[in-house]
Structure 1
Amino acid sequence: MAEHTIENDPAPVNGGPATADSALLVDDPLPKVRRLTLNRPEKRNALNDALRGALFDELRRADRDRGISAIVIRANGPAFCAGYDLGSPNHDVERHIAKQDGWWSRHVVNNWFEMWDMATPIIGQVHGYCLAGGTELAAACDLVYVAEDAKVGYPPVRLMSPPDMQWQPWLMGLRRGMEALLTGDAMSGVEAVASGMANRAFPAASLGDEVLAVAERVAKIPLELLTLNKRAAHRQMDAMGIRNGLRAGADIQALGFHQPPSIEYLQSFGEVGVSKALSERDRQFDDYRERRTDD
Structure 2
Amino acid sequence: MSTDSEKSAAERPAAWREGWDEGIDSLYSATRDTPPPDSLEFPTLTYEVTGRIARITFNRPKQGNAITADTPLDLVASVERADLDPRVHVILLSGRGKGFCGGYDLGAFAERSQRPEGDGPDRVRDTPLDPRVQAANHDPSGVWDPMIDYAMMSRYNRGFASLMHANKPVVAKLHGFCVAGGTDIALHCDQIIAADDTKIGYPPTRVWGVPATGLWAHRIGDQRAKRLLFTGDCITGRQALDWGLAVDAAPAEELDQLVEDYVARIAQMPVNQLMMIKLALNSALHAQGIANSALISTVFDGVSRHSREGYAFQTRSATVGFRQAVRERDEAFGDQKKS
TMscore range, shorter length: 0.7 to 0.9
Does residue 44 of structure 1 match 2:64?
Answer: yes
In structure 2, C-alpha distance between the alignment counterparts of 1:160 and 1:280, rounded to whole Å: 13
1:13·1:26 contact (CA, 8 Å) conserved in 2? no
SS at match of 1:100: helix
Question: 1:26-72 CA distances to partner (integer Å, 9 max, x unpaired)?
Answer: 3334x200112212111111112344433332222111111101110
Q: Tell me the equivalent position of 1:243.
A: 291
Structure 1: gaps of 5 or more residues = 1-11
What code does the residue aligned with 2:79 have?
Answer: L
Match of 1:76 in 2: 96
Structure 1 residues 293 and 116: CA distance shift in structure 2, 3 A: closer
250, 258, 283: which one aligns with 2:306? 258
Letter aligned with residue 194 of structure 2: V
| 1:185 matched residue in structure 2 | 233
In the alignment, which residue of structure 1 is the partner of 2:45?
Answer: 24
Gaps of 5+ in 2: 1-35, 109-114, 130-146
| Aligned equivalent of 1:231 | 279
8 Å CA contact 2:313–2:325 kept in 1: the answer is: yes
Is the CA contact 2:150–2:299 (under 8 Å) kept in the aligned structure 1?
yes
- Deviations 1:148-180 (Å, cap 9, x if unpaired)? 011101011001121111222111111111111
SS in 2 for 1:111: helix
Question: What CA distance in whole angstroms lies between the structure 1 residues aligned with 2:58 and 2:228?
Answer: 26
Q: Which amino acid aligns with 1:246?
A: A
Question: Is 1:220 equivalent to 2:268 in the alignment?
Answer: yes
Q: Structure 1 residue 195 and structure 2 residue 243: aligned?
A: yes
Quote the residue 2:256 is aligned against. Answer: 208
**227-236 vs 253-262, which moves further:** 253-262
1:286 aligns with 2:334: yes
Change (3 A) 1:16 1:172: closer
Contact 1:44–1:80, Cα closer than 8 Å, also in 2: yes
Alignment partners' CA distance in 1, 2:81 and 2:107: 29
SS in 2 for 1:125: strand
Q: Percent identity?
A: 28
TM-superposed CA distance for 1:87, in Å, is 2.8
The Cα shift of 1:249 comes to 2.0
Displaced runs of 4+ in structure 1, greater than 6 A?
A: 90-94
Deviation at 1:101, TM superposition (A): 4.1
- Which structure's residues are more often helix, by fraction? 2
Which residue of structure 1 aligns with residue 55 of structure 2? Answer: 35
TM-score by length of 2: 0.75
**Deviation at 1:269?**
2.4
What SS does structure 1 have at the residue aligned with 2:240?
helix
Q: CA deviation at 1:104?
A: 2.9
Q: Which amino acid aligns with 2:267?
A: A
Deviates most, 45-54 or 177-186: 45-54
Query: Normalising to structure 1: TM-score of the pair?
Result: 0.85
RMSD of the TM alignment (CA)? 2.4
Q: Identify the range of structure 1 (47-56 vs 203-212) with the bigger mean alpha-carbon deviation.
A: 47-56
Once the two structures are TM-superposed, the CA of residue 13 in structure 1 deviates from its matched residue by 4.9
One-letter amino acid of the structure 1 residue matched with residue 49 of structure 2: D
Which is higher, the Rg of structure 1 or of structure 2? Answer: 2
Q: 2:220 corresponds to which residue?
A: 172
Aligned to 1:67: 87
Tell me the distance in 2 between the aligned counterparts of 1:75 and 1:248: 29
1:147 and 1:69 map into 2 onto residues whose CA distance is 24
Q: Is the Cα contact below 8 Å between 1:62 and 1:71 reproduced in 2? A: yes
Question: Among 172, 175, 186, which residue is 1:138 paired with?
Answer: 186
2:169 to 117, 121, 127: 121
Task: Classify the secondary structure of the residue corresponding to 2:192.
Answer: strand
Structure 2 CA distance, aligned partners of 1:156 and 1:17? 30
| Compared CA separation, residues 258 and 145, structure 1 to 2 (3 A) | same
